[in-house]
């Protein structure tokens, strides 16, 4: 069982019953998730039943919230 925060214990990779991913792929996905900003997505691309690519998409606001509120002002 994994615990969040500093109480997380290190699981032995052999304890995980992974079907499609290896532990290095899991670590890479976790690192990418941790590196996302406020807005982002991680896409897993599978070809022939195997993980082939991981796409990281980051989005940024085009304006600040207070700028958007002034749109309707003349």
The per-residue pLDDT for 50 is 94
**Structure token pair of residue 6:** 């500093």
Per the CB < 8 A criterion, the answer to whether 35 and 25 are in contact is no
**Structure token pair of residue 55:** 């796409």
Q: How confident is the model at residue 63 (pLDDT cuts 50, 70, 90)?
A: confident
Whole-number Å distance between alpha carbons of 36 and 63: 19
Whole-number Å distance between alpha carbons of 23 and 17: 10
Residues 51-72 have a mean pLDDT of 82
Tens digits of per-residue pLDDT, 26-52?
999 999 999 998 899 999 999 999 999
Residues 2-20 have a mean pLDDT of 67
**Structure token pair of residue 53:** 């690519």
């Amino acid at each position: 069982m994994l615990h969040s925060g500093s109480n997380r214990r290190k699981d032995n990779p052999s304890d995980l019953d992974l079907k499609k991913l290896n532990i290095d792929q899991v670590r890479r996905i976790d690192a990418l998730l941790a590196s996302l900003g406020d807005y982002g997505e991680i896409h897993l691309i599978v070809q022939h039943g195997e993980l082939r690519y991981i796409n990281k998409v980051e989005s940024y606001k085009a304006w600040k919230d207070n700028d958007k509120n002034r749109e309707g002002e003349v």
